[in-house]
Amino acid sequence: MFDSRYTVLLATCFTSALACANEEPINASLMFDELEYRGQKGDDPKAWSIAATVNRGKHSLWLVSEGDHAFGEIGGHELLGYYSYATDSGWNLNAGWRGDSNPEPDKDWALLGIDGELPGAVGVAGTAYLASGGDSAFRLEMERSFIPAKNWYFTPELRADFFGQDMPESGQGSGLSTLEFAARLGYQWTSNFATYAGVIWGKAYGSTGDYLAEEGEDRTTTLYLVGVSFSF
């Protein structure tokens, strides 16, 4: 699934970036941001968000895996590989690749995005995607962390997915496709380990909702979750 052209592009960009930042040390980390069980009818699904990064100064290379597993099979999975440059203004510019292996069929996207922090410590990320055949998509993500008490944190998150066209083969419709709101309350046991519980509410709109209805699925879902996060 991983297109060799994207591999060469990422490797070339990152190698050039490291050469320009040879006065900085190289750092690497592995982050299990979300490992969780989500309650719903039938088999309880497991979900994950795992990221590995290598950075030097303002330059970073990311490999991210996000997905869920239920009823004995992968329900959805995205694998991302991208280069990120930290600007002096505090915003990061990102370019790379995303591969969708579920729902079928597999699909490769080129990505270009930006992420940073708005006033009020609101984190925001916007990413545009383009695939062969002219398929296009856009994802908006926002989050804000609160510290209600020592070692406790509360993080509401919003994710909205948009598509430039109907893609019935993967059950995605044009315009606003899905909107998801999540809230997690966690306890930070150490600087590298936390446990949390929360809820996710999601809704499918337009043709995406119609595709779900044809499959006998609900347009709106509410999931309760428990999980852990840790890093190395």
CATH superfamily of 4-231: monomeric porin ompg (2.40.160.40)
Token duo for residue 135: 């398929």
What is the three-class DSSP state of 163?
Answer: strand
pTM, to two decimals = 0.88
Token duo for residue 122: 């609101």
For 83, residues 6+ apart whose C-beta sits below 8 A from its C-beta are 10, 13, 14, 17, 59, 60, 61, 62, 94, 95, 96
| pLDDT single digits (tens) 155-204 | 999 999 999 999 998 889 999 999 999 999 999 999 999 999 999 999 99
Token duo for residue 15: 């190698």
Banded pLDDT at 8 (limits 50, 70, 90): very low
Give percent above pLDDT 70 in the chain: 86
Residue 160 host element (H or E): strand 152-163
What is the three-class DSSP state of 10?
Answer: helix
CA–CA gap between residue 124 and residue 139 (Å, rounded): 11
Instruction: Give residue 230's Cα distance to chain centre.
Output: 17
Which candidate, 190, 163, 159, places its Cα nearest to that of 177?
Answer: 163
